[in-house]
Amino acid sequence: MGRSDAHGVIRRLCTVFLLPVLLPVVLGFSGLGLGLSAAGAVAAPAPPAVAPLPPLAGAGGSATPSSFWLATGAGEVWAFGKAPGLGSLAGVALARPIVGIAPTVDAAGYWLVASDGGIFAFGDAAFLGSTGALRLRQPIVGMATTPTGKGYWMVARDGGIFAFGDAGFFGSTGATTLNKPIVGMAPTRSGRGYWLVASDGGIFAFGDARFFGSTGAVHLNQPIVAMAAPPAGTGYWLLASDGGVFTFGAAPFGGSMGAAPTLDAAQRLVPSGTGKGYWIVDQNGTVHPFGDATGAPPVQGLMFGAVTAGDRATLFAFHQLGKPYIWGGNGPAGYDCSGLALASWQTVGVSFARVANDQYHTAGAPVALSDLQTGDLVFWGTDQGDWTTVYHAAMFVGGGRIVEATGDHVQLNSLTQWGTGDVMAHGMRP
């Protein structure tokens, strides 16, 4: 269906006026790298002055719509962009929650890992072993794959390491008393070593991984959640949950989110191909490029947690995927565009107008397209200066992606799927 035809269908189905619904001990410390970070519906707000629509390339911090899988502790997985839909554990009774998702080298599969070390493989991901039948002293907190993709490590909260396939064991902190728990690991480019990182930024190096420094003796505003090394392996970055970045060795500082964190926590730091830049990736898939990082990073696997009300509303919308588009539908059998947005937010105790154009006019506070967060409402209309011309609404997820009721069912799409001409000049945050 062409763009104009698709718009015509949506216009006919979404602008009908309905009655409003009321409805560790650290190995050492060196000087920190340069540029460290310090470590209910509103009644009819006046829309901001209409200006030329900014490039949607900036929507939600992403220079290009990113591709990613979102996984939850229940084992649900949703695919966005180039990430293929390969299945999930939705509806499966798990012994322990899922704590990590790791894509294969070619991004045609992924592993899910549970806190007991149970491994679940999808797509071209091979099952190489697990600790699901073992009694662990501390729960698994994450996993990493070898450069060949033919092996993986799992790391426990105490730094215990479990190696499978061609992953080598090079040491652990399992017998060490840590100041703070291990939160992740990063392999070297050769696959013959790895670093473990604790929540205070303590770094433990094994194999051919070199120690360049840590934040173990520094008071952090927010805990460290991840680390990454540039291709040459001559340094590394540490990432805090607020997007603060700490650099060591030859890893360059390109910027951070520490002074202006987003509502969804930072979860990954992905180096650019040259190692002269990186993307910070939030838990909702939104990417923030720094240095020479341009476009979008490789497909990422992210753990999505309901941190904000918008996250919780969006999770409800995810659970409606595949349900039919029903004109005037308020659920649970089916929804129209504005009905899905309203029903999703009502699950977190927030109600607003029923019809798309009224939602654009009154459903919360206006928010710039560049500042969209999970759960924010985005709109399409024929005249950016006239709220009465709005004919479609959707919910922003992150990474330039949306969840919406359109066509014949509830689905995941790109914010720019029909171009940018009819996207209204701002979103709304209920």
Of 221, 196, 216, nearest in space to 206 by CA: 196
Digits of tens for pLDDT over the chain (430 positions)?
333 333 333 333 454 333 333 233 222 222 222 222 222 222 333 333 334 444 454 455 544 689 999 999 999 999 999 999 999 999 999 999 999 999 999 999 999 999 999 999 999 999 999 998 899 999 999 999 999 999 999 999 999 999 999 999 999 998 889 999 999 999 999 999 999 999 999 999 999 999 999 998 888 999 999 999 999 889 999 999 999 999 999 999 999 998 888 899 999 999 999 999 999 999 999 999 999 999 999 999 999 999 999 999 999 999 999 999 999 999 999 999 999 999 999 999 999 999 999 999 999 999 999 999 999 999 999 998 899 999 999 999 999 999 999 999 999 999 998 877 899 999 999 9
Q: Decide which of 2.60.40.1180, 2.60.40.10, 1.10.760.10, 2.130.10.10 is the CATH code for 66-303.
A: 2.130.10.10
The pLDDT of residue 133 = 86
> What is the CATH number that goes with domain 3-23+308-429?
3.90.1720.10
Give the domain ranges of the chain: 3-23+308-429, 66-303
Token pair 């340069």 is found at 34
CB of 330 within 8 A of CB of 21?
A: yes
- CA dist., res. 398 & res. 264, Å (int): 9
Look up residue 308 and give its two tokens.
């904000």
The pLDDT of residue 14 = 56
The pLDDT of residue 49 = 37
CB of 236 within 8 A of CB of 197?
A: no
The 3-state secondary structure of the chain, one letter per residue = CCHHHHHHHHHHHHCCCCCCCCCCCCCCCCCCCCCCCCCCCCCCCCCCCCCCCCCHHHHHHCCCCCCEEEECCCCCEEEECCCCCCCCCCCCCCCCCEEEEEECCCCCEEEEEECCCCEEEEECCCCCCCCCCCCCCCCEEEEEECCCCCEEEEEECCCCEEEEECCCCCCCCCCCCCCCCEEEEEECCCCCEEEEEECCCCEEEEECCCCCCCCCCCCCCCCEEEEECCCCCCEEEEEECCCCEEEEECCCCCCCCCCCCCCCCEEEEEECCCCCCEEEEECCCCEEEECCCCCCCCCEEEECCCCCHHHHHHHHHHCCCCCEECCCCECCCCECHHHHHHHHHHCCCCCCCCCHHHHHHHCCEEEEHHHCCCCCEEEEECCCCCHHHEEEEEEEEECCEEEEEECCEEEEEECCECECCCECCEEEEC
Q: Residues with Cβ < 8 Å from 202, sequence gap 6 or more? A: 24, 25, 26, 27, 178, 179, 180, 214, 215, 216
* Alpha-carbon Rg for the chain in angstroms: 23
Of 55, 108, 39, 46, nearest in space to 79 by CA: 108
CB of 75 within 8 A of CB of 99?
A: no
The pLDDT of residue 248 = 98
The pLDDT of residue 31 = 28
Task: Read off the pTM.
Answer: 0.86
